Amino acid sequence: MNMTIERFVKYLQFEKRYSSHTVIAYENDLLQFFGFLQETFGSTDETQIQHLHVRSWIVNLLNEGLTPTSIRRKLSTLKGYFRFLLKRQVISHNPMLKVVSPKIGRKLPVYVQQPDMQRLLAVPPQEDDWLAWRNYLIIDLLYTTGVRRSELIALRMEDIEWSSRQLRIRGKGGKERVAPFGALLDEHLRLYLKLRSAAFPQLDYRQLLLTAKGKPLYARYVYIVVKRLLSGVTTLDKRSPHVLRHTFATHLSENGADLNAIKELLGHSSLAATQIYTHNSIERLKQVYRQAHPKAEKQEE
């Protein structure tokens, strides 16, 4: 092993106290980089490495099929390594200053189509089955209000403001917001609470949604319920509670809701986090255009 790489590895182990897994990953990245330099340029002298050598390695990694995310991680290793050499005066310049990492395409959020959600919620449970109503409400609340799973679990009886038809939500960082709901969810909540009281007349828990044993819900429990019910209407690979939050926001955007309003309903601190939901709407508009506009049809031919 190159002596400077060995010094860097010891620095990570004993001074930075990185985990063994992280140290091995850094070491492998450096060995791969210097192997490329030797094979391509015939030299591994750190003092002669320029930004063009690193860029050549990036191109090689892309050609090998590595994702931008994996390449950025490897470049992070090189940045740390060359900063280490610069501080110890092994090199006089940092070749990474002129290296631009490949951009990572932002993934669009996965969501359930509107007809599928309508089908899922179209037939409420039997009126005397409190557990089936509890499961139905898990889906209904996640989709109708856009709450996070943790926020759903934390909902208490007193968080329902019946007169104004809104829920008080305790979000990330202790921030509170309100989530409005309509007449139908109002009706469902009242029926559920009536059945819940009959099933557990002596209950002390203030949490709104409970397990079959009358205990507060927990994260895994909610995930299992959501995945099972979504499996009946969609073939999406992801069928988690967060998919319903994405679905809530995407359907609002598709139906013309203002982006700032969606931001407030989701409890986002920044509009940038909400803007991703406009992409799905734009893609839907493009699809409508391609299908309906005669000029678009001609262009596709």
Residue located via tokens 């985990």 = 19
Q: Which of 10, 172, 175, 290 is catalytic?
A: 172
Q: Known catalytic residue: 73?
A: no
Over the chain, what HEC string results? Answer: CCHHHHHHHHHHHHHCCCCHHHHHHHHHHHHHHHHHHHHHHCCCCHHHCCHHHHHHHHHHHHHCCCCHHHHHHHHHHHHHHHHHHHHCCCCCCCHHHHCCCCCCCCCCCCCCCHHHHHHHHCCCCCCCCHHHHHHHHHHHHHHHHCCCHHHHHHCEHHHEECCCCEEEEECHHHCEEEEECCHHHHHHHHHHHHHHHHHCCCCCCCECCECCCCCECCHHHHHHHHHHHHCCCCCCCCCCHHHHHHHHHHHHHHCCCCHHHHHHHHCCCCHHHCCHHHHHHHHHHHHHHHHHCHHHHHHHC
Tokens linked to 244: 């319903």
Encoded amino acid at 34, one letter = F
Spatial CA neighbour of 69 closest among 97, 99, 103: 103
Q: Known catalytic residue: 53?
A: no
Q: Which of 239, 245, 246, 251 is catalytic?
A: 245
Q: Known catalytic residue: 238?
A: no
Question: Do 181 and 196 meet the contact criterion of CB atoms below 8 Å apart?
Answer: no
Q: Known catalytic residue: 148?
A: yes
Cα–Cα dist 299/187, whole Å: 50
Q: Which of 73, 148, 168, 177 is catalytic?
A: 148
Q: Which of 53, 73, 119, 242 is catalytic?
A: 242
* Cβ-based burial of 198 (10 A; exposed 0-12, middle 13-18, buried ≥19): exposed
Q: Which residues are catalytic?
A: 148, 172, 242, 245, 268, 277
